[in-house]
Each structure stands twice: as structure tokens, then as C-alpha cells.
Amino acid sequence: MKKTKSVGLLCAVLSAVCYGTNPFGALPLYEEGVNTATVLAHRFGLAVILLAVVMFIKRENFKVNRHEFKVLFSLGILFAASSITYYQSFHFMDAGIASTILFVYPVMVAVIMALFFKERVTAMTVVAIVMSLVGIGLLYKGETGASLSAMGILLCIISSLAYAIYIIVVNQSSIKMSSFKVTFYAMLVCEITLILYSFTSPDLYLHALPSPRAWSFAVWLSIVPTILSLVFMTVAVQHVGATPTAILGALEPLTAVAIGVMVFGEMLTPRLIVGILFILFAVMLVVLGKDFHLRTITHAVSRLWHWK
């Protein structure tokens, strides 16, 4: 039992780190003039091909029944919606900030599990929700007082909600299949959705990638923040549940912010740091809710306040 939990927690950490590398692959493609639909179509298309090869080598059965198809179709639509809105948000704000706002999804997971699946809502969960909202408020204003894009924030919130529901569906579904098979069909539905999405606007037409460099980043996107992240996430949810897996997503914004600052030269202001810390502390309260008490927080804050 202890070994199973350790495997689940390790996979949750690896999933978060892998998913946090999205900006590393997406932003260079945007710089080369590749639109959102094309980036995601190559990401999911390559992922489907690679997963099919893995399943073929492992001699896995590709057949699914009607119930399994419904679940896998839902997962594909949810992940496509989350990815489209997340990648579009990069056009409105820095990737590190977008990734941090996306991190509200663990709180969403906790709330949905409480409302629809009768998980007990603790005082720590309520405090965590309030703190996450404060964190987003701090992110909304930059150091110079300039507001972040309201559209960018809205896109991140929609992406966060879709990803939260994706995790819950994985957790609550009764289908029994390998994480590779789950991810393969989810990505296949994603690819079909992206092709249809590309017809919704002249600016979203699909086109070939312009250079070998662009192909290298597309391959990165298909392997690291897609295949590895989702396979690890599925294993984690099956071993430790939806909420703990979501909580360990704390490493996602940290990874994305680190990439944004070190690779793309994005600004990391004191106010943004405080906002990030508020959100990280909020989700830590969710996972520690059963063993953490309000008086513990009050005592800690009091000591910090009087510390000299």
C-alpha cells in the first residue's frame, strides 16, 4: 500500500513538471509565426502517432466498448478545450502568469469533489479557496499598475476548469485500461477537435511547420507536456486520487515561471512572487486540511508578525 502511494505521488510530481514545460515548446513556435491551431494540431497529432507505436510494440488491444468510448470522448473534448484556451492565453499575457492562474484547478477539483461526490468540505478548503482568489488578484496587477488582459485571465480560468473536470473524470470513471490507451484515445479526439476548430476562423488555418527548429519544439510538446504528463497523471490519479494529484500540480507554475524567466526573459516582480506564494499556500492547505488546524496558521502568522 505504501509503495503504491509512493508511486502515485512520484507520478503526480513528474506529471506536473512535464506539463509545466508547455511554454518552452509553444512560445518559440509562436515566434516563428505558427498559429495556435497549428501548434496544437501538431502536438496532438504527433502524440497520437507515438502512442500508437508504443501500444503496437506493447501489443495492446485498440478495441473499446461503447461505455469506454463515451468516457474517452469526454476526456478528449475536455483536454482539447483546456489546451486551446491555455495556448490562446499566451497571446494576452506572459506564460509564467498564465501557468500560475491555471494552477487554480486543484481548488476547483476539491470543490467539485465536495459538491458532486460528497467529499467533506473542511475549513482549510474554504481558506484555500479564498487565498487562491487573493493570489489571482495579486497577479492581475503588474508592478507598474498596468492591468493584465481580462481575456487572458478568462481563458486561463476556462482552461483550469476543463483540466479539473478531466482529472475528476479519470478518477471517477470505471474503465479499466492502461494509461497509454487512455491517453491515446484522448489525444485522438483532441486532434479531431483541433482540426474542426481550425475552420472556425481564417486566422486558425492549419499549415506546415516552417523549419526543423519548429519541428523539434513540436516533438517536445507531443512527448513531454502531452504523452509523459498525461500518462503520469493517469497513473497518479489511479493510485492516490484526484485531489492529491491536483495539489502536487504546484510544480506546474513553478516550472513554467522558471522557464519564462530563465529562457524567455519574462519579468518576475515582487508582487507576482507574492501572488504565486498565495496560490501555492492555498493548495497546500487543501492537501494538509485533515491534519492542519486554523490555530496553527494563526500561531504561525502571529510569530511572523512579531518577529524582528
| Mean confidence (pLDDT) of the chain | 81
pLDDT for 283 beyond 70: no
130 with 121: CB under 8 angstroms? Answer: no
pTM: 0.77
20 with 255: CB under 8 angstroms? Answer: yes
pLDDT, position 94 = 78
| pLDDT tens per residue across span 169-209 | 988 887 888 889 999 999 999 999 988 988 887 777 888 89
Q: Which runs of consecutive H residues, i.e. helices, occur in 150-293?
A: 150-172, 179-197, 212-222, 229-240, 242-247, 251-262, 270-288
pLDDT, position 166 = 92
Domain ranges of the chain: 2-306
| pLDDT tens per residue across span 21-61 | 887 788 889 889 998 889 989 999 999 999 999 999 989 99
Q: Which among 287, 289, 169 has a CA at the least distance from the CA of 233? A: 169
Other Cβ atoms less than 10 A from the Cβ of 211: the count is 11
Classify burial at 304, counting beta carbons within 10 Å of its beta carbon; exposed 0-12, middle 13-18, buried 19 or more: exposed
Per-residue cell: 9: 505521488
pLDDT for 288 beyond 80: no
Residues 58 and 49: their CA atoms lie apart, in Å, by 14
CA distances from 66 to 70, 81, 178, 248, 267 (A): 6, 23, 17, 33, 49
Per-residue cell: 75: 476526456
